Amino acid sequence: MYAVIRTGGKQYRVAPGDVIRVESVDSEKRGTGTDGRVEFSDVLAVSAGDGQIGKPQPGALVSGDVVEQGREKKILVFHYKRKKQYKKLRGHRQGYTAVRITEIAFDGQKFTAPELPKKVAKPKKVAPVEAEEVKAEAKAHKAPAKKKAVAKKSAPKKAAPKKKK
């Protein structure tokens, strides 16, 4: 099961569970916005099974959750005209939104992605109290390091002022 959607002037082939990077999408303008959901209503084609592909009826909808928003790596745009002393260097970073496709709905059918397992935070390892006490005692009994004497450099001699004629 997959669909072809159009967003940001580009076309993407998506299936439930896929994560795609599209040009920056404002989730408030598309969909509800408060829960980070995005809906793509410009569905170009839908495939329900093997070898079956067709143009969807009006009302087909692909929805997803916003995973992250950021900016791509910088690309350098260099303009140059030979023999004219013309050079121009500009940098550009395109914004993107990563979207995980959760549902494809058309003709009364809904295909949903499987739920992701919740991430469990790893418990932090705590050092035994005895090890901390040993470290504290070692710092307290450590003698301060002696500073080495630094040889002074002689100042350069000033040149005599020039005589006027």
Full-model pTM: 0.61
Q: Does a structural domain hold residue 146?
A: no
Residue 77 lies inside a defined structural domain of this protein:
yes
Domain count, the chain: 1
Query: Which tokens is 152 given?
Result: 């002074």
Residue 164 lies in a domain: no
Q: How far apart are CA 160 and CA 142, in angstroms?
A: 54
Handedness of CA 70, 34, 118, 20 (dihedral sign): negative
Q: Quote the CA–CA distance of 46 and 36 in Å, as a whole number.
A: 24
Number of helices (H), then strands (E), belonging to the chain: the values are 1, 11
Residue 97 burial (CB < 10 Å; 0-12/13-18/19+)? buried
pLDDT tens-digit profile, the chain (165 residues): 889 999 989 999 999 999 999 998 775 554 444 458 899 989 998 887 766 677 777 888 999 999 999 999 999 999 999 999 999 999 999 999 999 999 999 888 888 888 877 777 777 776 555 666 666 666 666 656 666 666 666 667 677 777 776
Range of the domain at 52: 2-112
